[in-house]
Amino acid sequence: MNRPDNQATAYWLEADRLVRGMPQDAFPFLGERGHVVSLVGGGGKTTLMYCLAEASSGRGLRTAVMTTTKMGRPGAYCRSMAACLNCWSAGEYAVCGERLNERRLVAPEPAFLAQLLKQADALFIEADGARRLPCKAPDAHEPVILPQTDTVIAVMGLDALGQPVGEICLRAQIVQALLGCGPEHRLTQEDMVTLLLSEQGSRKGVAQRDFFVVLNKCDDAQRLQAGRRMLELLRDQGQTRVVLTAGMRRSETYEQIKTE
């Protein structure tokens, strides 16, 4: 599964239309069997997870979605392998887990999870929580990355740029310690790159796994420009797998951003 990282490439993708025309080289694992992908961070990772699952399922793979922490509970979800197989036979991806309460799912039971890991062609996992904030640093118990995970995607929302750490970040005190700042400090592009690449930030627990960065909410020209600048900063530090996404509708499916 090793792939060349000899140049930085990014894509502008519509977050609500990622499935349509998803470029294979933006997320090379799509369409390949045997991947377990964990998403961490904040600022749109749940939406991205479901879009990736739909794209994977649309490529004919038996695809499942789950959490190792907590996630929103859909109207229908699978608690057994039989239910999961029914979804796959219908050409759909399966949302798997156990009911925590009226609003939340938690991880599947261990026996079901073991079956999923054996029988799913692709498994997408929400491995972190952000309480709908666009930026965070992990606490001691976070993220919860399964050992079988081979790919980690770190998501961050560009609506955090220029906002006070104490207001826009989950685990703000940890963010402050990592950046050496106070709660009133406004996040810069350099700060966000530091959080994304820190072993105490978004790279916590990644080790030698494939690592992607998604900069979400590039919803206007100013944020897109900031995202491109962050792409350059990430590339300079060796992070070449970067995707820029937007939540607003645009006429094009994606625009490749050349960075040679």
Give the mean pLDDT of 231-235.
Answer: 93
Q: Considering only 4-13, 15-24, 206-215, which range has the smallest mean pLDDT?
A: 4-13
Tell me the average pLDDT of the chain: 87
Question: Could you give the dihedral angle defined by the CA atoms of residues 213, 67, 42 and 181, in that order, rounded to the nearest 10 degrees?
Answer: -100
The pTM score is 0.89
If one compares 117 and 7, the residue with the highest pLDDT of the two is 117
Q: Are 40 and 152 in contact (CB under 8 A)?
A: yes
pLDDT at 2: 29
pLDDT at 141: 95
Quick check: 11 pLDDT over 90?
no
Q: Are 67 and 105 in contact (CB under 8 A)?
A: yes
Helices (H), the chain: 45-58, 81-89, 110-119, 165-168, 172-179, 189-197, 221-236
Q: Considering only 1-5, 83-87, 116-120, which range has the smallest mean pLDDT?
A: 1-5
pLDDT at 156: 96
What residues contact residue 16 under an 8 Å CB cut-off, 6+ apart?
Answer: 47, 247, 249
| Tens digit of each residue's pLDDT (9 = 90 or more) over 19-57 | 444 566 688 898 899 999 999 999 989 988 988 898 899
